[in-house]
Amino acid sequence: MSQVPQHIAIVMDGNGRWASKRFLPRIAGHKKGVDALRRCVKTCGQRGVGVLTVFAFSSENWNRPADEVSGLMDLFAMALVREVPQLQADGVQLHFVGERSGLSQKVAHGIEQAELATASNSRLILNICFNYGGRWDMVQACRRAVSEGLRPDQVDEEWLSRHMAMSFAPDPDLFIRTGGEMRVSNFMLWQSAYSEFFFTECLWPDFGEAEIDAALRAYAQR
């Protein structure tokens, strides 16, 4: 096992509580969450992590209050445009993983443009799981097997792995969840089979270099 995880997956939890503690609207926590993600990308690149995958919007997040969902969508659309130049400068290749149908034209277009603009970068791969669920991923892979007319004996772990939405990346070595909950919440169900888990009370907007280093130290000691 290498000392530095090649792939880190993160459930960025605690934005809402960060905001509530300050009597701010939840969207203020999500905005700080974008800042935390920017710091995290930078630190992971500096520490030699090759792939970072974050859970930005789950299939279940559509059930949140309508104003929070639309606030999040506006934030994503804005961040997609605003963050790309710095990601370019830092050699980050962006991938969006999840169900694209049902997204607004603005968000879908922003995603396409951001992926295109960063496609030839190679320092760090940043996977943003958006309108994503681990079960969704398994179902879409199974549907492909059916639509390609495979026989049952042709569908095995190797075939499914190759048809998961993140088949281009290695499985995560380290799975981090911030915000104190100790659940997987339908994130990377297939890919985290052998991951090391690191749970922290730290709320996502407060997650910075010191917290990333604590997770990396814990991983190196396992």
Question: Could you give the C-alpha distances from 148 to 73, 144, 157, 161, 168, in angstroms and in order?
Answer: 34, 6, 17, 16, 20
Residue 61 is a catalytic residue: yes
Rounded to whole angstroms, the Cα distance separating 99 from 130 reads 7
Among residues 13, 137, 171, 173, the one annotated as catalytic is: 13
Cβ pair 178, 203 in contact under 8 A: yes
Nearer to ligand FPP, 128 or 216 (CB): 128
Q: How far is the CB of 210 from ligand FPP (least distance, A)?
A: 18
Look up tokens 């603009």; give the residue: 117
Residue 153 is a catalytic residue: no
Among residues 15, 61, 90, 156, the one annotated as catalytic is: 61
Q: How far is the CB of 24 from ligand FPP (least distance, A)?
A: 12
Q: How far is the CB of 93 from ligand FPP (least distance, A)?
A: 15
Rounded to whole angstroms, the Cα distance separating 54 from 11 reads 6
Cβ pair 93, 48 in contact under 8 A: no
Q: Which residues contact 154 (CB under 8 A, 6 or more apart)?
A: 145
Cβ pair 114, 84 in contact under 8 A: yes
Nearer to ligand FPP, 68 or 196 (CB): 68
The footprint of ligand FPP (CB under 6 A) covers 12-17, 30, 33-34, 37, 56, 61, 76, 79, 128, 179, 204
Nearer to ligand FPP, 21 or 217 (CB): 21
Rounded to whole angstroms, the Cα distance separating 96 from 132 reads 9
Q: How far is the CB of 161 from ligand FPP (least distance, A)?
A: 25
Nearer to ligand FPP, 15 or 59 (CB): 15
Catalytic sites, residue numbers: 13, 61
